Amino acid sequence: MTDKIVAENLSKVFGDDPDEALELIRSGKTKDEVLAQTGQTIGVHSVDFSVAEGEVFVVMGLSGSGKSTLVRMLNRLIDASDGAIYLDGEDVCTANAAALRRLRLEKITMVFQHFALFPHKTVLENVEYGLKIAGVAPDERRDRARAALDKVGLSAWGDSRPAALSGGMQQRVGLARGLAVDPEILLMDEPFSALDPLIRRDMQNELLALQRELKKTIVFITHDLDEALTLGDRIAIMKEGRFVQVGTAEEIVGNPADDYVAAFTQDIDRARVFDAQSVMDVPEALDLDHDDPSTARRRLDDLRRDSLHVLAKGELAGIVTRRSLAQVEGRRGASLGDALQHEAPTARPDTRLSSLYGACRSGLPVAITDDSGEFIGVVTPEAVFDLLAQDNTTPRAPGTPADEHSADAAPALSA
Amino acid sequence: MWQPSDSFEIPLDAWVEAAIKGWLVPNFREVFQAIQAPISLVLEGFDNGLQAIPMPVFAIVLALVAWRVASRGLAIFTLVSLAVVDLIGVWSQTMTTLAMILTAVLFCALVGVPLGIAAARRDGFEKGIRPVLDIMQTIPPFVYLVPIVMLFGVGMTPGIIATIIFALPPIIRLTNLGIRSVPADLIEAAYAFGSSPRQVLWEVQLPLALRTIMAGLNQTLMLALSMTVIAALIGAGGLGLTVYTGLGRLDVGAATEGGLGIVLLAMILDRITQALGSDATPQSPGLLKTLKSFFRKRAPAAASHG
């Protein structure tokens, strides 16, 4: 996949002499020390990352961690103090006013935390704003704005004022406004943070559904790790202007880079982060045509399993257990087929563990099949419990602050 | 007790005299004369126009506007007030005053709104213009009447120029304030979608500042009205002249007639412009739309007669 966004050594200092402040922070001083010494605030410093086309890249951090500054540097609402940003290889930081406007008009749009809808314009006028600015003819832009409103399910509200809409609806308008110009990159600055939890969940699901269809490159800012894990293909954890860890949801939760990340992840429902793949065993199976009950029992003993899946000509046919074998073993000429239970639970490799609970209820191992139906592994209920029971938070001595030195001690994974 | 002026006095009066009479007037009289030209032109246009409209037509149209933008109560008040003004015999003077006010307010808006926008965009400019506005608002108009007479002569136009100087500050201040108080996140959003600064101004800042700018316009209008009598001192006509003449002849009756005319005109204009500014959203669709809707309502009636 090609990299849509590349950021190199990106830094932002709020103050008069950024070079001085950057030198200090690179020599190992903390943000607070730099502020005390120079009166300048470090927003972001020395951040490297790249976002692939069609990827949802989530930047997660608490307030003041520099994530809003970071996202604003990508479309240069804030000028970077140091470093470079390339969108499709085009340098954003050195682009002149005309080139920058063209980027904002065509390539990169933004959705804001507090919606930032224009109160004096109707919903439809808000959605068509980007197109109007780009000089698209009124009829065409109205059609495209309607289509965008339709995508977010608000086509009936085009003539209302934003103030007449609820928070969730307003943010849908914000999203439609971002999508109307059909950008390649969508920047979302805590878009769902101002919504209440149920609406937020709805909006997340809706965004995922839209993303499956539209495949935009999305940079999503949030302070909510749950949201980050739900939405992100990759997640960057940000603290004091730097990336502490960058990785997939599973990498972040399964292998936190330091205590700071671990503290975040400890309350996470791991079943919603990990998928079947991560606890999958090798696909041991019997063959319906070649194995008989006696060889089946031998295999079970060898593998120390209580059940095994059975394939017929490469396709999953069912499962045999010690119990079903015992029922047919007494009979003469019994074949493996007689012991076969056809109702074997199956799942996809990317099924979340939380969705596997039902399949695990039977106590049988769950067969994992890929898109073409090929049997690629098994997940045993025990393996699911093992993973859920893992505790990766390193115990801390009581009374010490959680993340005093962790960021310095653990090198950040580069993106 | 000794005080500084016993030993030395700054001859400020002589300096100012010399600067204005010796330098400004001889060298720049032509320039100032040229400045008057557009103002005289607009004034004449307004005055001729207003004087030509028959009183009942004007009263009814203004009452309809009042009804449209404010309420039926204001419409009735407008109708009654204008009738009173006509009955006490100062209709023509009222129209002249109205023409002067409209001219002054028009030029105040033409000058003040762009200056206010410039002040909102550049902090340095705001800092520079603020003391000038302070001086304009605190200096007694009588102080600048004399130089105005020297530079522009006597008559209607110099009167309007004095009115403009007096009434200009609020529209500049409130335009500046209105644009500065547009929420920053909306400006940011507008830029994020690729707007140029000019597009941000026209699409976001001015529409959202409109209420405040209208409040400034209302203030400017009221100040302009309060200058009518002072402007009459240097030869402006209208109701101000009626009051001034009454004052000179100790004619209490004439002065009262003029004063009543000014007060009634002020009340009508104030209420209408306030209504335009305050509830901009629910019922007032702006002057142009109001006129258009009158036109639409009448069109079918006219057609049925035809």
Chain B residue numbers with beta carbons less than 8 Å from the beta carbon of A177 are: 193
Contact A23, A42 (CB under 8 A): no
Q: How far is A262 from chain B (nearest CA, A)?
A: 34
Give dist(CA A127, CA A169) in Å, integer.
13
Contact A173, A165 (CB under 8 A): yes
Q: In the 8-state DSSP scheme, what is residue B285?
A: -
Taking the Cβ of residue A101 and every Cβ of chain B, the question of whether any pair is shorter than 8 Å is answered with yes
Chain B residue numbers with beta carbons less than 8 Å from the beta carbon of A134 are: 194
Q: What is the mean pLDDT of residues B49-57?
A: 92
Q: CA nearest B257: which of B54, B94, B80, B56?
A: B94
Q: What is the pLDDT of residues B94-135, one digit of tens each?
A: 999 999 999 999 999 999 999 999 999 999 999 999 999 999
Does the pLDDT value for residue A401 go beyond 90? no
Closest chain B residue by Cα to residue A128? B193
Does the pLDDT value for residue A398 go beyond 70? no
pLDDT class of B173 with cuts at 50, 70, 90: very high
- What is this structure's pTM? 0.76
Q: Extract the tokens encoding B254.
A: 């004439």
Taking the Cβ of residue B202 and every Cβ of chain A, the question of whether any pair is shorter than 8 Å is answered with no
Taking the Cβ of residue A321 and every Cβ of chain B, the question of whether any pair is shorter than 8 Å is answered with no
Contact B193, A104 (CB under 8 A): yes
Q: Which CATH number fits domain B40-287: 1.10.1740.10, 3.10.129.10, 1.10.3720.10, 2.40.40.20?
A: 1.10.3720.10
Q: Do B192 and A181 touch (CB under 8 A)?
A: no
Q: Do A75 and B192 touch (CB under 8 A)?
A: yes
Taking the Cβ of residue B188 and every Cβ of chain A, the question of whether any pair is shorter than 8 Å is answered with yes
Q: How far is A350 from chain B (nearest CA, A)?
A: 36
Chain centroid to Cα B85, Å, comes to 21
Tell me which long-range contacts B179-182 makes (C-beta under 8 A, separation of at least 24).
B179/B116, B179/B117, B179/B120, B179/B121, B179/B205, B179/B206, B179/B209, B180/B120, B181/B209, B181/B212, B182/B208, B182/B209
Contact B137, B174 (CB under 8 A): no
- Residues whose CB is less than 8 angstroms from the CB of residue B4 and which lie 6 or more positions away in sequence, other chains included: none
In chain B, domain spans: 40-287
Three-state SS annotation for B78-127: HHHHHHHHHHCCCHHHHHHHHHHHHHHHHHHHHHHHHHHHHHHHCHHHHH
Taking the Cβ of residue A112 and every Cβ of chain B, the question of whether any pair is shorter than 8 Å is answered with yes
Give dist(CA A282, CA B192) in Å, integer.
50
Taking the Cβ of residue A77 and every Cβ of chain B, the question of whether any pair is shorter than 8 Å is answered with yes
Q: What is the mean pLDDT of residues B123-151?
A: 91
Chain centroid to Cα A57, Å, comes to 7
Closest chain B residue by Cα to residue A134? B194
Domains of chain A (ranges plus CATH)? 3-274 (3.40.50.300), 277-389 (3.10.580.10)
- Who among B185, B194, B204 is closest to A112 (CB)? B185
- Range with the lowest mean pLDDT among A107-121, A284-298, A388-402, B64-78? A388-402
pLDDT class of A111 with cuts at 50, 70, 90: very high
The full length of chain A comes to 415
pLDDT of A402 reads 41
Q: What is the pLDDT of residues B189-220, one digit of tens each?
A: 999 998 999 999 999 999 999 999 999 999 99
Q: What is the mean pLDDT of residues B47-53?
A: 92
Average pLDDT, whole number, for chain B? 87
